[in-house]
Amino acid sequence: MAIYAVGDIQGCYAELCLLLEKIEFDPGRDRLWLVGDLVNRGPGSLQVLRLVKSIGDRAITVLGNHDLHLLAVAEGVAKPSRSDTLDEILAAPDRDELLTWLRQQRLMHVEGDAVMVHAGLLPQWSIKQASKLAREVESALRGDDYVKFLEHMYGNMPNLWDDELTGYKRLRVITNAFTRLRVCTPDGEMEYKFKGEVEKIPAGYVPWFEVPKRASQDVTVIFGHWSALGLKVLPKVIALDTGCLWGGTLTALRLEDRQLFQVECQNPVAQDW
């Protein structure tokens, strides 16, 4: 049995199929860990959702910001962006089945000494605390009133965690950290606009995983979301968004021996950063 962690797919269905062929993925034997952003911007988001759903519990997915955006657009609480490629999903006969399945996915997966999230973890969050916070958002997404959560999900404030936060402000901070975080101050104040190379990070901010004495530094964190960061395989940090959508590669890393597998983008989209 092998576990393959796969970077942001974002509707790159052709590349996903090539990657699964390259790693000789066998759902009866192997498992996939998908770092989120299954959909959007690429041309095959509907096919990606159908494929991942068909793999069942052999594929573990954490939700990314584009996945949450799809849910919000589907419920009419967010307007589509010009670069969205979600129409095929929204018009599909199995739309409701796919969206219901997507709402059941998690924000964080913990297994052994490895943790998978889409974007990041705030520096003050231990793995135990982060797991509990992830469950709060997951419960909101899976509940009967999930549309109310989606209505309050968007926004940049508060941008700093406080244990005393309640209600939708609390859920918003949790969601933003798991699905949007790239850089923050040493005390965990998040900045959302930056999405470029490390050398261009605004003064006062650092990559979330470089904050000194980060509470989650003793586990291996696997994430995506930051295509300009590129591939990063360190003892306790694995970044897998290698920008397939923008003309890069789609990457899988076999966790057992950290062997990398990559396929080239077939139809790149113009970069937005």
Q: Is the pLDDT of residue 272 over 70?
A: no
Looking at residue 239, its pLDDT comes to 98
Q: Where are the alpha helices (DSSP H) in 143-190?
A: 146-153, 167-180
271 pLDDT tier (thresholds 50, 70, 90) = low
Report, as an integer, the average pLDDT of 122-134: 98
Looking at residue 273, its pLDDT comes to 44
Q: What is the pLDDT of residues 6-32, one digit of tens each?
A: 999 999 999 999 999 999 999 999 999
Identify the DSSP state of 153.
H
Report, as an integer, the average pLDDT of 250-273: 87
Looking at residue 270, its pLDDT comes to 58
Identify the DSSP state of 123.
T
Report, as an integer, the average pLDDT of 104-126: 98
What is the three-class DSSP state of 99? helix
Beta-carbon contacts of 93 under 8 Å, excluding residues fewer than 6 positions away, are none
- What is the full DSSP assignment across 192-257? -S--S-GGGPPTT-EEGGGSTT-TTTTSEEEE---TTT--EE-SSEEE---BGGGTSEEEEEETTT
**What domains appear along the chain, each with residue ranges and CATH number?**
3-264 (3.60.21.10)
What is the three-class DSSP state of 63? coil
What is the three-class DSSP state of 93? coil
Q: What is the pLDDT of residues 219-248, one digit of tens each?
A: 999 999 999 999 999 999 999 999 999 999
189 pLDDT tier (thresholds 50, 70, 90) = very high
Q: Is the pLDDT of residue 212 over 60?
A: yes
